[in-house]
Amino acid sequence: MSEIIAAQDLVRWRQWAKTQAIATDISVEEVDWFLQGLTTVDRLSLRLGIREAVQSQVSLVELSRLWERRCQEKIPVQYLVGKTPWRNFELVVSPAVLIPRPETEYLIDLAQASHHDLHAGYWVDLGTGSGAIALGLADSFPDGKIHAVDQSAAALEVARKNAIAYGLQDRIQFYQGSWWEPLQHLRGKVAGMVSNPPYIPAALLPDLQPEVYRHEPHSALDGGIDGLADLRILVNEAPDYLISGGIWIIEMMRGQGEAVAQLLADNGHYTQIQIIHDFAGGDRYVSAQRI
């Protein structure tokens, strides 16, 4: 925090930013997230009125420049402030990684619900991005051995930073490569696989919000023609790596549940195949157990 911004300047700035937000169809609440991300202003002052000067990572001019980019270029606030809350973490994010979503937090609850005998084993997070799932697993399973894979070197750099920030760098091993490929040494040893792979059918990508389509990495979104290209690999290769009774958990797009469950059933190595719904009632997760 290097700059001091006077209270009355910030009050005026906030009003200007809200007007910009309304004019460009952005939720005015984002103005406050943005301010909390880059300055020391707290939620209480934002509710009751800003009466004291705040410290800021950037000047008022730079705040305005960044906010204009939010409104005009539709850059997500999380990329502008460089961080996002996720479970009990505050994770560093950059345009090299997908911004971890609240619905993905539930994958960790599903992993925690597995048999406790599995919790001290090897757990893998395939397509780790910011490292969110790997950190969640390391935090949940103090005796677990966590291995996280991504094909993107830039994403792994962000994931490593997040692991270091929470002192989990010795608990998580990171690998660059494609899905199971860097984990040959874990064949037949893995207690649980957790993944939020790309699952959006390629033709639907341009229909996503501009924040997502224009700024989040397409390699994190594009699931091929039917959205299931990567999920098929996860279904077909996991049996070589999971122990008997090992757990397979993924997030997917609503409406893909039946197709994913069918892939698992056709594979023949899985039991306890379950389609799990999110809080809004959509099918968003599938779990299964290695026979």
Ligand X SMILES: C[S@@+](CC[C@H](N)C(=O)[O-])C[C@H]1O[C@@H](n2cnc3c(N)ncnc32)[C@H](O)[C@@H]1O
Q: Point out which residues bind ligand X (CB under 6 A).
A: 98, 100, 104, 127-130, 132-133, 149-152, 155, 178-179, 196-198, 219-220
Residue the block writes with tokens 């790596």 = 241
Residue 155 CB, nearest approach to ligand X (Å): 5
Task: Select 78 or 128, whichever has its Cβ closest to ligand X.
Answer: 128
CA separation, residue 244 to residues 89, 121, 181, 238 (Å): 32, 12, 20, 11
Q: Which is nearer to ligand X, 64 or 94 (CB)?
A: 94
What is the closest distance, in whole angstroms, from the C-beta atom of residue 178 to ligand X in the complex?
A: 4
Smallest gap from residue 22 Cβ to ligand X (A): 30
CB of 155 or CB of 264, closer to ligand X? 155
- Return the beta strands (E) in 26-178 as ranges: 54-56, 83-86, 89-92, 122-126, 145-150, 172-176
Q: Please tell me what DSSP assigns to residue 200.
A: B
Distance between CA 90 and CA 92 in Å, rounded? 7
Classify 133 as helix, strand or coil. helix
Least Å from the CB of residue 224 to ligand X: 10
Residue closer to ligand X, measured from CB, 176 or 272: 176
Of 143, 141, 134, nearest to 196 by C-alpha is 134
